[in-house]
Structure 1
Amino acid sequence: MALSRVVSQIVTGLLSASLVAMTLVDTSYAVSGLPNSSQFGYGARVDIWGQHAGYALTAASGIGIDWIGIEFDWTRNWPERGIAFQLEALDAIMQSARQYQLNVLLSITNPPAWAMTLAGPEPNLTAELVTSLAQRYPDILLAIEPFPYANTVRGWGTLPNPAAYLEILKTGQAALQAIGSPVVLIAAGLAPVLSGGISGDMDDLVFLESLYANGAATYTQIIGLRLYEIGCDPLTAPGGEPIVIRHYEQVRSIMLKYGHKTGLIWITGFSWPTPDNRQRQQVCQGKPFPASPAEQAKWIQQAYRLMKSQLYIGVAFIDPLNPPASNNLLIPVSNALIREDTSLHPVLVAYRDIIQTDRGNANGQVKTFLFKKMVSSIKKAP
């Protein structure tokens, strides 16, 4: 029996209408992390093509997550200009997000050849995609991140080009304003570049400075940052290598240099360091990795305390919530908070505790009970 059907049957059998209402995310936190909110937002990334994607949204709601981040693979979802979107999988996930009142960040990746120019993705075609998505999911899609890792060849599709990326922001923002959409564009999805990396990648701080020098503050309220290949101690001050989670302080310095005091940073993807990292010899420089689940949970707790203490950080998305479709070089399957056998990584429990401690959630015990009950039932399902 398909896992999604199992989950549906379990939810129907276990939850009365009143309990369903109790498992929904509190609407007072509906815009946590956005510029008009003083609340820090808790997020997690979901791979809709990976294992247990539907179950992951049940888990997200159960622990009180505000946001889910989803990669929108442009080539996979819209391979040819003359055909319609292929959005069945995304539609299903968005419907579940709507049911659980989870806000959604879509990260547009992998532009098709027909949408590329020599300078990068074509701005008007990108704006068309952005507005189409905003209109298709007007109630839950609140943020779009065009081309994360834009400072890398991998993310941009060709040599990084800050001026061309700025055109994406300008054109996309104008298109959203024209249709009256409240969707916020998350800029750049910056990825720190380690020495000895891929030829053509641009240092993320150099890329960001170029964006601001050309007026980026006019076209975006939020700078995105991806933090994966990072040092082992979350408390280490930034500077040089290894890159540390406090790299956001260097990003903030550039924002302030150009007067963008009201701008926010979103950590649109991060995880704890592991020996499976592509640059594992550089990342920890002889310091021990957080090897055990308990050490990993402690690392995440420290990281979230740090990020939440910075008033300019709006949301931080832990990655991945569910096992991804393929073993990413940056994020191993072993880092999934819901494991392949549907058991829970201790980090997920720690994340729940972080959120409930912060929010003082009165429904926390009910959510936790129902969540564990679903886990137990799914394990027993054929």
Structure 2
Amino acid sequence: MFPVRLFSVRLFFLPLLIALLALQFFHLRLPQPLNLPEQQTVVSHNPIIGLHTRLTGIGDEAYIQQALEQVREMGASWVVDLFPWAYVQPRSRYGYDWTGADMVIEHAHRQGLQVIARLDIVPAWARPPGSTDRHLDPEYYADYANYVAAFAARYTPQGVRHIIIWNEPNLSFEWGERPPDPGAYAALLKVVYPQVKAVAPDAIIVAGALSPGSPLDDGRTRMDDMQYLASLYDAEAAPYFDMWAVHAYGGLEPPTAEPAPERVNFRRIELVRAMMEQFGDGHKHMIITEGGYNDHPRWNGAVTPAERINWTIATYELAQSYPWLDAVALWQHSTPFTTRSHPDAWNFVAPDGTPRAIYHAVRAYALQE
């Protein structure tokens, strides 16, 4: 009888053991409560100051909180960050994992920051084998639109209204190592826009900023940004975006330098604005989602540290004179890693969290210390 009783006891406890193991398994994968600070507000005499951050996917809450505190304390009201589709739906079109996005957005909200969300990066299941994570074929436009709509429905009520559709689609690299195709990007906007507006009518659909400058490799590597913009209007994309984003790097020239089609400088945004007005889009506003100056001592595209400080502050100041420009989010707050090369010299804050001279100078300007 003893073996039978032992077998019965095992049968009794086996389902309980399985349930406990399952509970532990799923508990580890449930979103954990965030350690949110008290609500803060930004103090700044220039409300369009912003920075591009790179926080989604880090997963270190303390690091994210510190970074966003630094943005606020510098006097910036805006942040741009990337919220990759591949992070939220990594395995299939069914279900969403908002853990990483929630962490960044909720901490940004607690710091009083306005978030501009860039949405791209294609999961492996939504692109051909061997393609890059920027490759999106028309057969998956609806899946991408579902992601954007779900993002908007979740975060627009939390104040995240600005949603950028893709990034620099006039670059082959950003268009999945294919020749830039403004017609295909226009078709993407036409799928995304009505789907988002159906669930989040207050969302602001922002057309992805273009890489500024003349064509590279006869347009196969980069299509001229002005030509690309004109082609988008020819493709009747205008009704399918509410705002235009620009990348306004200063290059080797001060922000006051005159714009010209063959020059890449801050005031190139005026050429973009003129074309928008030419096509009847003068009522739409613009935002700068990347820009600024690099001060690496051994890169031929860099300026001196003193020029970077003076010209960055002049950029923020000049930007206030454009009534159609809502935000200037310069590249970039920081990264959690170092390249030991010129990309590090875009940072306002070193990877270890130490503010650089440019950070202190902008903070003094923003707070008028």
- The interval holding the TM-score normalised by the smaller chain is 0.7 to 0.9
Equivalents in 2 of 1:119, 1:58: separation in Å? 35
> Aligned match of 1:313 in 296, 316, 325?
325
Q: How many Å apart are 1:260 and its aligned residue? A: 1.1
Q: How many Å apart are 1:274 and its aligned residue? A: 4.0
Aligned to 1:130: 148
Aligned to 2:54: 47
Over residues 116-155 of structure 1, what are the superposed CA-to-partner deviations in whole Å (9 max), with x where a residue is unaligned? 4887463312210111111222313211111111111122
Aligned to 2:271: 250
The amino acid that maps onto 2:104 is I
Q: How many Å apart are 1:326 and its aligned residue? A: 6.4
Equivalents in 2 of 1:42, 1:169: separation in Å? 28
SS at match of 1:105: strand
- Where structure 1 has 5 or more consecutive residues not aligned to the other structure, the ranges are 1-7, 13-19, 30-38, 284-288, 358-364, 366-382
Q: How many Å apart are 1:229 and its aligned residue? A: 7.2
Aligned to 2:166: 147
Counterpart contact for 1:44–1:317, Cα < 8 Å = yes
Counterpart contact for 1:153–1:201, Cα < 8 Å = yes
Aligned to 1:378: none
SS at match of 1:245: coil
Equivalents in 1 of 2:340, 2:323: separation in Å? 31
Equivalents in 1 of 2:76, 2:205: separation in Å? 21
SS at match of 2:264: coil
CA separation of 1:163/1:116 partners in 2, compared to 1, >3 Å: closer, same or farther? farther
The amino acid that maps onto 1:106 is A
Aligned to 1:290: 303
Aligned to 2:116: 105
Q: How many Å apart are 1:183 and its aligned residue? A: 1.4
Equivalents in 2 of 1:328, 1:130: separation in Å? 35
SS at match of 2:267: helix
Counterpart contact for 1:25–1:102, Cα < 8 Å = yes
1:4-15 paired onto structure 2 within 5 Å: none
SS at match of 2:255: coil
Q: How many Å apart are 1:181 and its aligned residue? A: 3.6
Counterpart contact for 1:120–1:161, Cα < 8 Å = no
> Aligned match of 2:100 in 64, 86, 89?
89
Aligned to 1:164: 184
Q: How many Å apart are 1:44 and its aligned residue? A: 1.2
Equivalents in 1 of 2:71, 2:106: separation in Å? 14
Aligned to 2:14: none
Worse-matched range after superposition: 339-348 or 82-91: 82-91
Counterpart contact for 1:191–1:227, Cα < 8 Å = no
Counterpart contact for 2:74–2:363, Cα < 8 Å = yes
Equivalents in 2 of 1:217, 1:175: separation in Å? 16
> Aligned match of 1:231 in 252, 270, 281?
252
Equivalents in 1 of 2:276, 2:106: separation in Å? 36
Q: How many Å apart are 1:196 and its aligned residue? A: 4.6
Q: How many Å apart are 1:327 and its aligned residue? A: 4.3
Counterpart contact for 2:348–2:359, Cα < 8 Å = yes
Equivalents in 1 of 2:193, 2:310: separation in Å? 39
Q: How many Å apart are 1:268 and its aligned residue? A: 0.6
Counterpart contact for 2:258–2:267, Cα < 8 Å = yes
CA separation of 1:325/1:341 partners in 2, compared to 1, >3 Å: closer, same or farther? closer
Q: How many Å apart are 1:324 and its aligned residue? A: 4.9
Counterpart contact for 1:321–1:338, Cα < 8 Å = yes
Over residues 66-85 of structure 1, what are the superposed CA-to-partner deviations in whole Å (9 max), with x where a residue is unaligned? 22111122224422225543
The amino acid that maps onto 1:172 is V
SS at match of 1:202: coil
Q: How many Å apart are 1:98 and its aligned residue? A: 2.2
The amino acid that maps onto 2:310 is K
CA separation of 1:106/1:325 partners in 2, compared to 1, >3 Å: closer, same or farther? farther
Please give the root-mean-square deviation of Cα atoms over the aligned residues, in Å. 3.1
Aligned to 1:303: 315
Counterpart contact for 2:215–2:222, Cα < 8 Å = no
Equivalents in 2 of 1:182, 1:342: separation in Å? 36
| TM-score with structure 1 setting the length | 0.74
- Where structure 2 has 5 or more consecutive residues not aligned to the other structure, the ranges are 1-34, 129-134
Over residues 244-298 of structure 1, what are the superposed CA-to-partner deviations in whole Å (9 max), with x where a residue is unaligned? 1111011112111111111122111112034589xx65x5xxxxx4322x33211
Asked which structure has the greater CA Rg, the reply is 2
The amino acid that maps onto 2:304 is A
Select the structure with the greater relative contact order (CA < 8 A; seq sep ≥ 6).
Answer: 1
Equivalents in 1 of 2:84, 2:333: separation in Å? 18
Counterpart contact for 2:171–2:180, Cα < 8 Å = yes
SS at match of 1:133: helix
Worse-matched range after superposition: 143-152 or 316-325: 316-325
Equivalents in 1 of 2:82, 2:339: separation in Å? 15
Q: How many Å apart are 1:242 and its aligned residue? A: 4.3
Worse-matched range after superposition: 75-84 or 171-180: 75-84
CA separation of 1:112/1:160 partners in 2, compared to 1, >3 Å: closer, same or farther? farther
